[in-house]
Amino acid sequence: MLVRFATSRPEGAYTLALPIAAGAAPADRLPPSDSAARGIVRSAAEAARFEGETGATVDLFIPEGSGVRRLVLVGVGSGPDGHERAGAALVARLLTSGETRLVIDLTGIAVADPAEAAAKYASGAVLRSWRHDVYRTKLAPKARPSLTEIVIVGGGEGAEAAWSRLEAVAAGVAFTRELVAEPANIIYPESFVERCEALTALGVKIEALDEAAMREAGMGALLGVSQGSAREARLLVMRWDGSDGTKDPVAFVGKGVTFDTGGISIKPAAGMEDMKWDMGGAGAVAGAMKALAMRKSKAHVIGVCALVENMPGGNAQRPGDVVTSMSGQTIEVINTDAEGRLVLCDAITWVQRRYKPRTIIDLATLTGAMIIALGHEHGGLFSNSDELADQLLAAGKASGDALWRLPMGDAYDKLIESPIADMKNVGPRDAGSISAAQFILRFVEEGVNWAHLDIAGMVWAAKPGPLWDKGATGYGVRLLDRFAADNLEG
């Protein structure tokens, strides 16, 4: 999608979009002398009960010269996210409409920062235009995207600069969506690493540990998950240091189960195809690293993706097995489908020993219980630091990747006590997401601020949302980028 900014409407054929604030009169966006067009707009808005609600649209045609112009009214509401959602709504309406060029005219509307508003329209449009059509060979012409160019008028001189930052974040989201949307025969541990190697061109330093290196390091928990698969595990490490060595690193750690059958504790067949997105946490970390590098963030971040397949092969680990983690703690594996925490615990130990971060944020599609608790509206947040939790909640609210904090404590920790090992990998059904977080906390070293984001309900959408179509959402990228911008770049 080509995005341009202009000071006036271009010549030629295009669809014109006019943003309308909540409660404003749509006809007032047209010249007083154009009484015919104003009457059509007024009647159309009244017929559609359009009141400028965020993301609402009215599609009509108005006379212009000797012909007609397609006009779309789009509501921006009264909230801070109205411009981005309006840009997305326009693309959702027009992407496959046959129109090729959209002009969004911001002149004549009151906005505090026209440049930022223009960039938000671009961001919403680009995010909503993303599709994964790689394997579609028989798309009907009317189902193919036609919209290729967006021109935003009235953003002022700072629009390009404002868009530059948001464009980097949108590129990171697109990268995450690509990784999450690809099937498991295309994206597996080794190929995930290969896709991420492209980030070296942006200045990201990349290292990948194979199974031999992980075995030497003592990662028995992670390798226990992988041992049933013909695909070898990988620990992908991405480093971006925009601070020129002046700042201590913060670690982002992502669960990267590129396909999860459940192992010997196998999942039901119905819906198992969805488990290609069980690497959504790792995907978010990779996308965030791309965004940070593209916009030359001044943060120092280590991104770690623990990449495995969980398969029920003849060599797969069994319920009741005991594994020794890299930390030296032993784990009784009660359920092989509670594998994400086994993968994360070794990755967290490794990054602490190698880079000694004072802050760790892990992201994982960890528990179905999180979806039961929060649905698809919020990711779950667990933390041993009120300050870090508050920073993440604020970043979630500002970015649109919403979070909700849940409790932790000794009573929940007792749920994972084992009679034969240091702990077991699952507790009872009650408080399943919390006991999973308690498990991970046992591997966080003293003095390290840690947050666990259970994003099981957020990385994949069964229906279109404000900024995405059905499928991969890219959740987590905007959250991590905003957290870095607000807390790591000063």
pLDDT tens profile 401-440? 999 999 999 999 999 999 999 999 999 999 999 999 999 9
Among residues 38, 70, 231, 341, the one annotated as catalytic is 341
CA distances, 14 to each of 81, 101, 136, 220, 338 (Å): 26, 5, 28, 60, 53
Q: Tell me what pLDDT residue 490 has.
A: 82
Q: How does pLDDT run across 95-146, given as a tens digit for each residue? A: 999 999 999 999 988 888 999 999 999 999 999 999 999 999 999 999 999 9
* Mean pLDDT, all residues of the chain: 97
Catalytic residue check, 165: no
The two three-digit tokens of residue 76, written as one number = 């921006």
| Domain range annotation of the chain | 2-136+144-154, 167-487
Confidence label for 244 from pLDDT (cuts 50, 70 and 90): confident
Q: CA 254 from chain center: how many Å?
A: 12
User: Across residues 185-213, what is the average pLDDT?
Assistant: 98
| 4 in catalytic set | no
CATH class of 167-487: alpha beta
DSSP track, 263-317: TTSPPPSTTGGGGGGTTHHHHHHHHHHHHHHHTT-S-EEEEEEEEEEE---TT--
Query: Which DSSP symbol is given to 379?
Result: E
pLDDT value at residue 363: 98
What are the tens digits of pLDDT across the range 305-363? Answer: 999 999 999 999 999 999 999 999 999 999 999 999 999 999 999 999 999 999 999 99
State the residue for tokens 């959250």: 479
| Core vs surface per residue 383-413: b (16+ CB within 10 A) or e | beeeebbebbbebbebbbbbbebbebeeebb
Locate tokens 């001189």: which residue?
Answer: 157
Please return the burial class of 130, using the count of CB atoms within 10 Å of its CB with bins 0-12, 13-18 and 19+.
Answer: buried
Per-residue model confidence (pLDDT) at position 66: 86
User: Which pLDDT band holds residue 65 (cuts at 50, 70, 90)?
Assistant: confident
Q: Tell me what pLDDT residue 377 has.
A: 97
Lowest mean pLDDT of 217-221, 242-246, 421-425, name the range.
242-246
Q: Distances in Å between the alpha carbon of 427 and those of 416, 422, 436?
A: 5, 13, 8
pLDDT at 21 over 80: yes
**Which H/E stretch holds residue 21?**
strand 15-21
Architecture of domain 2-136+144-154: 3-Layer(aba) Sandwich (3.40)
**Residues near 165 by beta carbon (within 8 Å), at least 6 away in sequence:** 119, 295
Q: Which of 4, 267, 397, 405 is catalytic?
A: 267
Instruction: List strands edge to edge, sheet with 449-454.
Output: 205-209, 234-241, 300-310, 250-260, 359-364, 449-454, 379-383, 403-405
Per residue in 79-104, pLDDT tens?
777 999 999 999 999 999 999 999 99
